[in-house]
Amino acid sequence: SAVISQKPSRDICQRGTSLTIQCQVDSQVTMMFWYRQQPGQSLTLIATANQGSEATYESGFVIDKFPISRPNLTFSTLTVSNMSPEDSSIYLCSVGVGLNTEAFFGQGTRLTVV
């Protein structure tokens, strides 16, 4: 299993600003992922955070809006840039400890943009 810590747990931000969310895992993991859950909706995969290379983004998500860093095997950040109220969501970090194994999720970051 894996224990995932996300910071901040929640934030209220002004439109036009950026927020960086941190994800720390208690063990080295091969794969880290970022998801978004808009109010009342399901979870949508934003991107795969690749260690040592650029993240791989899903359709509809771009690096300029959601830059991702993965400096090592236990840490990743997601930045939500130039925020608008439509970015108000829960952002979740997820890891896989091996290929084709269960996913573990952090507790999420609840973002409100005003």
Partner 1 sequence: GIQVEQSPPDLILQEGANSTLRCNFSDSVNNLQWFHQNPWGQLINLFYIPSGTKQNGRLSATTVATERYSLLYISSSQTTDSGVYFCAVGGNGNQFYFGTGTSLTVIP
Report the interface residues with partner 1, using CB under 8 A.
Answer: 31, 33, 37, 42-45, 48, 59, 90, 92, 94-96, 99-105, 107-108, 110
**Residue placing its CB nearer to partner 1 in the complex, 25 or 82:** 25
* Identity at 22, one-letter amino acid code: Q
Do you find a cis peptide bond into 67, omega within 30 degrees of 0? Answer: no
Classify residue 42 as exposed, middle or buried by CB count within 10 Å of its CB (0-12, 13-18, 19+).
exposed
**Smallest distance, Å, CB 18 to partner 1?**
23
3-class secondary structure, 91: strand
**Residue placing its CB nearer to partner 1 in the complex, 60 or 85:** 60
**Residue placing its CB nearer to partner 1 in the complex, 82 or 101:** 101
